[in-house]
Amino acid sequence: MRVVLSLGGSVLAPELDPDRVAAYANAIERLVGEGCELGVVVGGGGVARDYIGAARALDANEVQLDQLGIDVTRVNARLLITALGASVDPSPAHDYDEAADAIRRGDVSVMGGVTPGQTTDAVAAALGEFVDADLLVYATGADGIYDADPNVDETAEQFAELTPEELVEVVVPMSRDAGASAPVDLLAAKLIQRAGMRTVVLDGHDPGAVENAVLYGEHSGTDVVPAGGEEPSYWAQR
């Protein structure tokens, strides 16, 4: 089973806690041990936002801000690489070709951002499409996709399952609201729709939740299932 994991920086490193990074590394190594081929895309989290805020106060332009954020994602990627064993490509991939080459030779590929104007949400979706992933998993700070921001609206309801087309419809209005934060951004949603890629969005604070989602399809988040899509055959064999 070929899997792309989008690992939010605020999930991997809300603060510099080596035990948390090691726990995720252990989960990834267990997935590899179960026969999964893995690409991991790491976000910048709060550290990236802090740097971007400071740079904005220094009148940096948007491309400079994006480049700064990309640098932070790559530092987070290198931190995770440090915790992984011999099965990982020792340097963060800087583009999709590098990541795909590592995955195809049996290494875990870890990468951050790629280009200004593109979030790591979108990078993960593009990588999943590029390598024909069986499953794309977003390990975020939110337990799935909701019809409103659950941090603001206590009546917000979670979607247990969406089609890629429905995902785009849900994310579009969220992307228009200043300060709104959907667990998956609009470009990522459109790439998922284009690829018809099975996707899971879940709370990634517990690495074990990611393991269960990948190995068994069991989670408390949101499934994004293409119309007529079937469960990965890998799950049926377990």
In tens, the pLDDT along 5-54 reads 999 998 998 888 999 999 999 999 999 999 999 999 999 988 999 999 99
Measured CA to CA, the distance from residue 229 to residue 96 in angstroms comes to: 26
> What's the half-sphere exposure (Cβ side, CA atoms, 13 Å) at 35?
6
6 closest CA partner among 216, 217, 183:
183
Q: State residue 7 phi and psi, 5-degree precision.
A: -110, 105
Q: How many residues does the chain have?
A: 238
In the predicted structure, residue 101 carries a pLDDT above the cut 90: yes
8 Å CB contact between 125 and 171: no
C-alpha of 92 from chain center: 15
8 Å CB contact between 131 and 95: no
> What's the half-sphere exposure (Cβ side, CA atoms, 13 Å) at 23?
15
At residue 233, the pLDDT reads 67
In this prediction the pTM is 0.93
Least confidently predicted of 34-38, 144-148, 173-177, 220-224: 173-177
Strand blocks (E) in 66-145:
109-111, 135-140
DSSP 112: -
Measured CA to CA, the distance from residue 103 to residue 152 in angstroms comes to: 40
Measured CA to CA, the distance from residue 225 to residue 198 in angstroms comes to: 5
Quote the tokens at residue 66: 């994006």
Each residue's pLDDT tens digit, 172-201: 887 755 344 578 999 999 999 999 999 999
CB atoms within 10 A of CB 226: 16
231 Cβ contact list (under 8 Å, min separation 6) = 217
**37-42 and 109-111 as β-strands: parallel, antiparallel, unpaired?**
parallel
In the predicted structure, residue 228 carries a pLDDT above the cut 80: no
Q: Over the range 182-217, which residues count as b (16 or more CB within 10 Å of their CB) and which as e?
A: bbbbbbbbbbbbebebbbbbbbbbebebbbebbbeb
The crossing angle, in degrees rounded to 10, of helices 45-57 and 62-83 is 150
Q: Please report the sign of the dihedral spanned by the C-alpha atoms of residue 188, residue 193, residue 195, residue 199.
A: positive
